[in-house]
Structure 1
Amino acid sequence: MPTKVVFLLLPKLHLLDLAGPAQAFSTANDLGHGYDLYYVAEADEVVTAQGIPVKAQRDWPELSPADLIVVPGWRSPRFTPQVPIAALTKQRLRSHHAAGGQVASVCSGADALGAAGLLDGRSYTTHHDLTDTLSTRYPKGRLVRDVLYVVDDRVITSAGIASGIDLALHLIAVDRGAEAAARVAREMVVYARRNGDEPQESAMLRHRGHVSDLAHRVQDVIDSRYADQLRLAELARGVGVSERTLTRVFTAATGLTPLRYQQILRLERAEHLIGHGATIEAAARAVGFEDARMLRRLRSRGVDLGPPLLGA
């Protein structure tokens, strides 16, 4: 029997929180993997945060333990002190889980699971902007920060927005196999299927919160050629400044030297490859190291993949 995937639509839901995983399961169904999609709400029509109305059904399909409920996120709970979910809907979530079914959320959808009591005693995650809010609301749960998704006792929570696609691909891989998930990812032109413990923000995004045009242009080059042997003189010529000026401006803007920024990009990509089964030697070659010694050294040092280190 096809697996039923029921999307619970709440007012002001985010389109991509819904469309990303819906597309993944729909594509899996098109490829013959047996998923039936349903969209339920407490009203016949739900207006999204982006202003587009979405039609829904009020009647829930009959669910079995093999089926899945997904709660997409809605406009930040910081602006909605009360979770927009009725007592009967909370009970449906609890009952499905108690019967052995899976319940998942994207972004602030975790707030609905928390309101239903499903986060108590379990690990969960959410969008990085909402972690403080939800950890305060649901202190009986164990909030895991800066990961893409968390699975705990058939309660699956994801970070938000595009991570809903990673969540769906993970569930497809578990239910239908890694090959099925890879085919879906290829059809959706997803660059890479990410593991749940990967950071919510890549290094390419974390170190872009500055206003230096020069540093951004240098980062553009390093981002596209991080596996190459880039010389400081070459980077400086490319942006029309001296090596000294480039280093000074880049470090002031990002908190990193150009070399350290390149190393962080390489290390982050290598960790991704190792997490998907590559050997350290193969990962080192793929990201541009001459051998695995430097990669091992960086990993053993615990090189920070988080916020920039000033003066690095």
Structure 2
Amino acid sequence: MEILNWQYGITYAILILTFLSSHEFGHYFAARYYGIQTTLPYYIPFPFPIALNFGTMGAVIRIKEPVTSKKALFDIGIAGPIAGFIVCCIFLIIGLETLPGKEYVYQIHPEYLQNGNGEIPMSGLYFGDTLLYSLFSKLFANPNGFLPPMNEIYHYPFLNVGWFGLFVTAMNLLPMGQLDGGHITYSIFGTKGHYAVSRAFFWLLLILGLLGAMYEWYLYLDETNATTILTGFGRSIYLFFQYFFAKFPILKGMWTGWLVWAILAKFVIRLKHPPVENEDDIGTTRKMLGIFALIMLLGSFSINAIYII
């Protein structure tokens, strides 16, 4: 651990806390607007130095009394994602507009110059690309400058937190159970419509997660030469995977974590949304905001999320 590099950690910590605070205080102020008692945000640290550690498990607020109308439920549900989304977009714009040259990476990884010709390895921990990140890269990064590959953006606090915040926003906007996206979907479509959408997304996440697990198993067999001892049915399965992933390369690298999310949604979060007392229609303006929530989800969602090559 490089204690002398604390200034880099401070920048990251301030940015990640700014994102978490904007999201949770979005919920908080929306709830207070309706006179609903709620706690201030609880920040959940995660300091253990293990893989994929962003230093936090997020933040939560606790609403102390029932939300009694669809309008209030919608406003509270969407306020957090919109606030966090805006902050992350600002982070990405700042990060892309102020990108240093390639020498910045060489200062961190001098071995790229010492052991090769300066090329950045294609292996390592990758952050999955998203529609929004790709769009912003084209709009705000210097077209003649250096754009770090997705396996190096963790060295750039604004890009790292911007990507991570959008990823968290996308997970919160999944239209399932009592996630923020679940509140929004229930407020627009009601009980039956919400449950239908929730089930569809459960199956989508389950399939994506299973594809990720299948590909990891296929790579393990391939890299360990275990295929030489496979016979019969086992070898047939391996050959099927080999053909399948060669035929559909876009399905490589799916995030196995979606399988975990599908299980959590099914058995912990639950797919159904409890009814509210006042089910009056939320109106056209809020439904338009619901479309914006869908745009946020699609722009921030990454099917391969975080993966290793």
Higher RCO (C-alpha 8 Å, min separation 6) = 2
- Counting strand residues as a fraction of each chain, which structure ranks higher? 1
Fold in common (TM above 0.5)? no
Structure 1 length as normaliser, TM-score? 0.28
- Counting helix residues as a fraction of each chain, which structure ranks higher? 2
Structure 2 length as normaliser, TM-score? 0.28
